[in-house]
Amino acid sequence: MMHALFLVLNEPKYLEDILAAFLEVGVKGATIVDSQGMGSALAANPNCELPFFGYLRTFLDDAHPYNKTIFTVLENEEMVEKAVKAVKSVLDDVHRPGIGFMFTVPVGHVYRMGQD
């Protein structure tokens, strides 16, 4: 069964290392999307005057407001394990909360466009 692996990376400086690690384990392609978390979107909204969002703005002042979401479709469970291990090999030495998270979802069908 195929799986889609999603990685929300809150520190984009690790992006190139993760992509290189993907190549090393045989991940043939991935899509990278600029993204923003809900907390930073709300904190950036000047119309939110609730006290919690004021605290959140202060907390996020030094943080990166945007992140990268990387996703790839993998052929089987073995490739999922390799890709997860590749990401962990890059990020395991990073001991800061909120660096990101990964998850997988099963993929029923893949339709490649422009191919016979």
For the chain, what are the domain ranges?
2-36+67-107
Region class of 100: left (phi > 0), else alpha (psi between -120 and 50), else beta:
left
Which of 47, 78, 73, 45 is CA-nearest to residue 60?
45
Helices (H), 8-105: 15-25, 38-44, 51-60, 77-91
pTM over 0.75: yes
Tens place of pLDDT for every residue, the chain, 116 residues? 999 999 999 999 999 999 999 999 999 999 999 998 876 666 666 665 655 555 544 544 455 568 999 999 999 999 999 999 999 999 988 877 788 999 999 999 989 898 76
| pLDDT at 66 (0 to 100) | 81
pLDDT confidence of residue 98:
80
Q: Does domain 2-36+67-107 have CATH number 3.10.50.40?
A: no
